Amino acid sequence: MSSTTNAAWLGNTVFDGARYFEGVTPDIEHHCARVVDSALKLNMMPFLTADEIVGLVKAGCKKFSADKALYIRPMYWIEDGIGPIEPESTRFALVIQALPMPDPNTGINACLSTYQKPHPNTAPTTAKATCLYPHLTMAWGDAKKQGYDNAVMLDALGHVAEFTMQNLLYVKDAEVFTPKPNGMLLNGITRQRSLGLLQQLGYTIHEQTIEPQALLTADEIISTGNHGKIIPCVSYQNRKLPDDKVGKQLKEAYWDFAHSKTSLPLTQ
């Protein structure tokens, strides 16, 4: 990818992120399918199937020591085109790098960001497109400058969307609430898996529009995402969250699922 590559200066790139840890790659088939879908949504011409990418992932992970935690990033991009893209110039790379898992027991403290997620009419929000991420890194960086680990972002209509790059669940009176996918937040694979696991644990799930004020009285707030999987938010807007019971149960259930090596459909 050179400085004249379309993707390098016009941002026509899509990617997905998956994990290898403790000998397993949970939901890898769904991550590989999503990068193909994202490429199609940006009018690219993906030339590898999800199964073919999974095969490359398995071969690539064998190049590393089995005790390493890995970050797996398949990506498609456009090589040519000034203005409109040239779809036939679609390129592919699979990046695998050693990257430790964050400590799931440490937790994060978060604030409410002044940045908001874009509306579907203003950005390719239904794809995992690289052009969406500078906006998110600005929100995350602003939170870090204020002394927080991450930030909660609202959608374009002023409702709770997610953390900067992770989905959000919260618990109130032993019931689980999460923003309903509305085109302004990514319906993450770890999010979908977590909701299914929570249902199996017997929790009532509410996918709905969430006002920002609701987080101020939550019993728990939980971050779900590929990089760290299940991470508790231990403090929000400088208020210590009073409980972590559901988060601990979810993490244990997720690790059990990951090590089952069972391919299961996602909860939509």
Residue 80, domain CATH? 3.30.470.10
Q: Which one of 98, 125, 156 terminates a domain?
A: 98
User: What is the rounded distance in angstroms from the CA atom of residue 242 to the CA atom of residue 197?
Assistant: 23
User: Does 267 reside within a domain?
Assistant: no
Indicate if 117 and 242 belong to the same structural domain: yes
pLDDT at 105: 78
Query: Same domain for 148 and 251?
Result: yes
Strand partners, 167: 224
Shared domain for 92 and 160, answered yes or no, is no
- Asked whether residue 265 is domain-assigned, the answer is no
Tell me whether residue 157 is in a domain: yes
Q: Which of 170, 146, 173 is nearest to 223 (CA)?
A: 170
Q: Are residues 114 and 84 in the same domain?
A: no
Question: What is the structure's pLDDT at 268?
Answer: 53
45 and 120, same domain (yes or no): no
| Number of structural domains in the chain | 2
Same domain? 72 vs 134? no
Read off the DSSP letter of residue 40. H
CATH number for the domain harbouring residue 162: 3.20.10.10
d(CA 160, CA 180): 10
Alpha helices (H) in 42-185, listed in sequence order: 50-61, 133-145
Per-residue confidence in pLDDT tens, the chain, 268 aa = 899 999 999 999 999 999 999 999 999 999 999 999 999 999 999 999 999 999 999 999 999 999 999 999 999 999 999 989 999 999 999 999 999 999 877 899 999 999 999 999 999 999 999 999 999 999 999 999 999 999 999 999 999 999 999 999 999 999 999 999 999 999 999 999 999 999 999 999 999 999 999 999 999 999 999 999 999 999 999 999 999 999 999 999 999 999 996 656 666 5
**Could you tell me if 255 and 197 are in contact, meaning their C-beta atoms sit under 8 angstroms apart?**
no
Quote the domain boundaries for residue 168.
108-260
In a domain, 268, yes or no: no
Measured between alpha carbons, how far is 43 from 33 in angstroms, rounded to an integer?
16
